[in-house]
Chain A
């Protein structure tokens, strides 16, 4: 059973702060890692993907991957109220399908 675990939250941070979202996975064969943002009533939107150990930065978002610890995280710098959403972690093994965590609800208050 391939599992992806996320803190369900809710995570609440003030505007301008760094939001840190964490995810662990059980399958050591996992090779692709994704973060999706989902606003209420909308479909998941891909915001970051990472394939190699280390950090990957895209604007205010940084994805961090540590395969040895089976851990992937998403940092959101200078958080904005528009970042308030549920963030889904997804992990792919060698068979091409994704395994999703249940998501972490983030609220950024002004």
Chain B
């Protein structure tokens, strides 16, 4: 069955370190997204991609980067981890409808990141 996976599921890192969170989907979806979820803020979009070599900034992109070298993967890098980046991170993927709007978006299991 097609799925979307994230690794690691839990990560503890120190302030200032570079961290990369992996996201891999076998849906063959063009669109991939990274969100963070914090109490009181709901889901916030970090970066997204509509296809290979395409990346776009979301509403909370500062301190994060992504690259898309193939259809299946969209790794998220925290350039220099900060305590404010302690959060739960979700990856998601979807197809686009003919109208350009999003089709159904499916989420990975999440990565809980703690920055000490």
Which A residues fall within an 8 A CB radius of B? 30-32, 34, 36, 42-46, 49, 51, 88, 90, 92-98, 100-103
Contacts and interface: CB of A to CB of B under 8 A. Distances in A.
Contacts of A31: 97, 99, 101
B101 A100 contact: no
A43 B90 contact: yes
Given A34-B104, A96-B101, 19 more contacts: A31-B99, A32-B97, A32-B101, A32-B102, A42-B109, A42-B110, A43-B90, A43-B109, A46-B104, A46-B107, A93-B101, A94-B99, A94-B100, A96-B100, A97-B45, A97-B48, A98-B33, A100-B42, A103-B42
Interface of B: 31, 33, 41-43, 45, 48, 50, 58, 90, 94, 96-97, 99-110
B105 A46 contact: yes
A84 to B, nearest CB: 18
A90 B103 CA distance: 11
A4 B104 CA distance: 17
B102 A98 contact: yes
A69 B17 CA distance: 48
A54 B70 CA distance: 39
Given A32-B97, A43-B90, A43-B107, A100 B102 contact: no
Given A43-B110, A96-B31, A34 B43 contact: no
B66 to A, nearest CB: 14
* Chain A interface, DSSP helix/strand/loop, else mixed: loop
A94 B105 CA distance: 15
A103 B99 CA distance: 26
B43 A44 contact: yes
B74 to A, nearest CB: 14
Contact of B43 (A42, A88, A95): A88
B50 A96 contact: yes
Contacts of B100: 94-96
A32 B102 CA distance: 7
Contact of A100 (B31, B43, B50, B94): B43
A85 B106 CA distance: 18
A98 B105 contact: yes
